Amino acid sequence: MYDPTVARLTYRGLLGRRRALILGALPVLLIVISVAVRGFTGADDQVAADVLGGFALATMVPIIGVIAGTGAIGPEIDDGSVVYLLAKPVKRPTIIFTKLIVAVAVTMAFSAVPTFLAGMILNGNGQQIAVAYTVAALVASIAYAALFLLLGTITRHAVVFGLVYALVWEALFGTLVSGAKTLSVQQWSLAVGHKVSGDLVTSDVSLATGTVLLVVVTVAATWFAGQKLRTLTLAGEE
């Protein structure tokens, strides 16, 4: 199910180009904000939860997910180099699964790790807030990577759609419209985070609902992406 060569090509593609800079920008911003907030207001649990919930989980994690998830396959399909993977006796679902693993790992590295660091800076993991949001970022990374990897296989405009989902749906509707909250990766992962920390991390869905939906979305998106790749049509240049 996992092909080390596909993995190597994927992470070198992801981290080699300008994308690595973009991936690094948001975590750096989060750390800078955390240092500034800590410097101005001192250690405050509520402020820490607001920063991690409002910026790290609501904005940074989905955007990193979009960049890593779509970037794990989108550019190869776009420029046609994916043909070198497809013209091999390697099962297409294996290619997708491997790319998912890489996308998850990259999303985790660039979102969960800085989230934890920011939490430590903000209030030294008081009330387990740093750990809770890190756990939430970890599980969200998996679902986002799967979702945006699928998006990368079905549309050339995956980044645009991904950002619209991340910013408009998750960040805007997800916080304003209660119905949208049930269908939000952010809320599902917060449900998991709530389990760790308690009342400073809140979610609109129950742990059971959140977990089931996270698993269903991840598995379904990955399966569908594998099927999609099996029938991927490479447009000729004529």
Partner 1 sequence: MSTLTIDHVSRWFGNVVAVNDITMTIGPGVTGLLGPNGAGKSTLINMMGGFLAPSTGSVTLDGRPTWRNEEIYQHIGIVPEREAMYDFLTGREFVVANAELHGLGDRAAHRALATVEMEYAQDRKISTYSKGMRQRVKMASALVHDPSLLLLDEPFNGMDPRQRMQLMDLLRRMGDEGRTVLFSSHILEEVEQLASHIEVIVAGRHAASGDFRRIRRLMTDRPHRYLVRSSDDRVLAAALIADPSTSGIEVDLQEGALHIQAIDFPRFTALLPRVAREHGIRLLTVSPSDESLESVFSYLVAA
Distance CA 48, CA 17 (A): 33
CB of residue 22 vs partner 1: minimum separation in angstroms? 16
Nearer to partner 1, 71 or 114 (CB): 71
Nearer to partner 1, 81 or 178 (CB): 81
Nearer to partner 1, 13 or 114 (CB): 13
Instruction: Write the single-letter amino acid at 190.
Output: L
CB of residue 155 vs partner 1: minimum separation in angstroms? 18
Q: What is the largest CA-CA distance in the chain?
A: 63
CB of residue 20 vs partner 1: minimum separation in angstroms? 11
Distance CA 13, CA 125 (A): 35
Whether the CB-CB separation of 102 and 14 falls below 8 Å is answered with yes
Nearer to partner 1, 15 or 215 (CB): 15
Residues binding partner 1 (CB under 8 A): 3-6, 8-9, 12-13, 16-17, 79-81, 83-92, 230-234, 236-238
CB of residue 128 vs partner 1: minimum separation in angstroms? 41
CB of residue 104 vs partner 1: minimum separation in angstroms? 22
Nearer to partner 1, 100 or 217 (CB): 100
Residue 42, Ramachandran bin (φ over 0: left; ψ between -120 and 50: alpha; else beta)? left
- Number of C-alpha atoms within 13 angstroms, CB side, residue 119? 28
Neighbouring CB atoms inside 10 A of 173's CB total: 15
Whether the CB-CB separation of 60 and 27 falls below 8 Å is answered with yes
